[in-house]
Amino acid sequence: MLNLLKGTFRVFMHLFRPRETISYPEERPYIPPRWRGKIVLTRTKEGRERCVACYLCSAACPVDCIALQATEDESGRRYPEFFRINFSRCIFCGFCEEACPTYAIQLTPDYEMAEYDRSQLVYEKDDLLVDGEGKYPGYDFYQVAGVAVVGKDKGEAEHESPPVDLHRLGD
Amino acid sequence: MSDTVLSLATIVGVLFSALTFAGVLIWMERRLLALWQDRLGPNRLGPLGLGQVLADTIKIISKEDWVPPFADKPLFILAPAVIMATTLLSFAVVAFTPSIAVVHLDIGLLFFLGMSSLGVYSVVIAGWSSNSKYPLLGSMRAAAQMFGYEVFMGLSLMGVVMQARSFDLRTIVLAQHTLWNCVPQFVGFVVFLIAGFAEARRLPFDLPEAENELVAGYHTEYSGMKFGMFFVGEYVGILLISSFITMLFMGGWQGPLLPPLAWFAVKTLAFVALFILVRASLSRPRYDELIAFGWKLLLPLSILNLLVTGAVLLLKDR
């Protein structure tokens, strides 16, 4: 019986505790930087698209919400002709980010994506592309990969030696 | 002529304020429960979230009023009306202030006890006419619980009646002008408080509607405004029990400085808050524990209280 009274008093004293509730639109909760929220496509420092349309994100996606079409520009760089993420399907697992070899696709702490119409949740490339570099500043796939494109031949990338000509090894 | 107008005005005023307060109580309970659980509760709609009362009312009135095809239709419709009628009728004898009361009955307290006993018919009829298993189980529990708790609810009040030598509520309140009954009748006060929880079917005595075992107990099959009447009836019941505790044990309208009606309201609302606090902190006992607690502890206790009060009064008279 005494325990009941003690318990009741303890509950009463909770009146003076701070609230757990966050009054959402006015107050905001702390969202960690590595939060898996809205997906974006980032750019390099020069403002070029990082995505090379390798389809790895699309293949890794467990719910098949990523659709894209690869194409090539005149300098030989691959890029997606369209890039579409259906956020009404996306489960925000982050597998696409892990699969991406160029740090192009990234998940952000933005979670305010509610829409009245389901079709509004299909994001096109224009909606996904952002201006910044996201979580990996300074990284540029074409500057570290041994791929030849117009303006950068093999062996001209960072930390890269010129290619060895096997036929002239004996000279 | 003016007497008629005055009593009509009192009736309308009492009915209106009882129902309005019951509606506000729904909001108050949600806010208070939230406060005791470190939350905020409904605070968006209108000032302090009071618009929630209106929104809830509109919602429940606009819902489809549906009678299940397997139910016993006349009884099914009758049941919620019974609980509203009996609880609201009990307000007729409540002495709010020396002058404000719908009727001054010599047997006001007996009238209240009779009406609250009739209230259980509502629950039993609701469970029976629903013609499905969980409501029936709930109403069986309600019946057994009422058997147990109605007996000593009446007995616990007899000490108060003996001290005031009257069943008239106004006389009982006036008899407390020197000392509130909660001091000399402390046992009776505690027993009546517990019986009041059972009478209002509130936690920890809400076994008739124990939602984690019986879906929603006796009102499982109800929806729309018929459910709303059970819902509001529960809050009117809380208000009723609280106002009777105020009158019988806490000196009714008596108190310094403030006008009588304000004192009555403050005391009643304090007990309403206690009802909600108990809901926030206590869990529901097992069914047999509850019945055993009533018959084996509280009934002997209230009889003992009755005997001691009688003996003391007789000794004083010598």
Boundaries of every domain in chain A: 31-131
Give yes or no for a contact between B72 and B135, defined as CB atoms under 8 angstroms apart: no
For the cut 90, the answer to whether the pLDDT of residue A59 exceeds it is yes
pLDDT per residue over B98-114, tens digit each? 777 777 778 888 888 88
pLDDT per residue over A3-15, tens digit each? 888 888 888 888 8
Give yes or no for a contact between B191 and B152, defined as CB atoms under 8 angstroms apart: yes
For the cut 90, the answer to whether the pLDDT of residue A116 exceeds it is yes
Q: Is B179 on the interface with A (CB under 8 A)?
A: no
Q: Do B39 and A18 touch (CB under 8 A)?
A: no
Collapsed DSSP state (helix, strand, coil) of residue A97: helix
To 10 degrees, the CA torsion angle through B149, B153, B156, B158?
Answer: -140
Share of residues in chain B with pLDDT > 90 (%)? 0
d(CA B63, CA B26): 18
Read off the pLDDT band of B261 (50, 70, 90): confident
What is the least distance, in Å, from the CA of B273 to any CA of chain A? 11
What is the pLDDT, as a whole number, of residue A99? 93
What is the pLDDT, as a whole number, of residue A39? 92
Interface residue of A2, A12, A24 to substitute, partner B, most B CBs within 10 Å:
A12
pLDDT per residue over A61-107, tens digit each? 999 999 999 999 888 888 999 999 999 999 999 999 999 999 999 99
Q: Do A23 and B40 touch (CB under 8 A)?
A: yes
What is the least distance, in Å, from the CA of B241 to any CA of chain A? 20
Q: Does pTM surpass 0.90?
A: no
Point out the residue among B34, B280, B282 whose CB comes nearest to the CB of A4: B282
Read off the pLDDT band of B223 (50, 70, 90): confident
d(CA B71, CA B127): 10
Average pLDDT on A135-159 reads 82
For the cut 90, the answer to whether the pLDDT of residue B149 exceeds it is no
What is the least distance, in Å, from the CA of A27 to any CA of chain B? 13
- Give A146 or A141, the one with higher predicted confidence: A141
Q: Tell me the pLDDT of chain A averaged across its residues.
A: 88
Q: Is B140 on the interface with A (CB under 8 A)?
A: no
What is the least distance, in Å, from the CA of B163 to any CA of chain A? 28
Point out the residue among B39, B40, B281 whose CB comes nearest to the CB of A11: B281
What is the pLDDT, as a whole number, of residue B67? 84
pLDDT per residue over B41-97, tens digit each? 888 887 888 888 888 888 888 888 888 888 888 888 888 888 888 888 888 888 777
What is the least distance, in Å, from the CA of B238 to any CA of chain A? 19
For the cut 90, the answer to whether the pLDDT of residue B247 exceeds it is no
What is the pLDDT, as a whole number, of residue B122? 86
Q: Do A10 and B281 touch (CB under 8 A)?
A: yes
What is the least distance, in Å, from the CA of B194 to any CA of chain A? 12
* Token reading at B180: 């509130």
ipTM value of the model? 0.72
Residue B199: CB partners within 8 Å, gap ≥ 6?
B116, B119, B146, B149, B150, B153, B237, B241
Architecture per CATH, domain A31-131, reads as 2-Layer Sandwich (3.30)
Point out the residue among A12, A21, A23 whose CB comes nearest to the CB of B277: A12
Q: Is B295 on the interface with A (CB under 8 A)?
A: no
For the cut 70, the answer to whether the pLDDT of residue A139 exceeds it is yes
Q: Is B297 on the interface with A (CB under 8 A)?
A: no
Q: Do A19 and B37 touch (CB under 8 A)?
A: no
Point out the residue among B38, B40, B282 whose CB comes nearest to the CB of A14: B38
Chain A contact residues (CB < 8 Å to B): 4, 7-8, 10-12, 14-15, 17-21, 23
Question: What Cα–Cα distance (Å) separates residue B251 from each residue in A27, A60, B113?
Answer: 46, 74, 19
Read off the pLDDT band of B1 (50, 70, 90): low
Q: Do B36 and A14 touch (CB under 8 A)?
A: yes
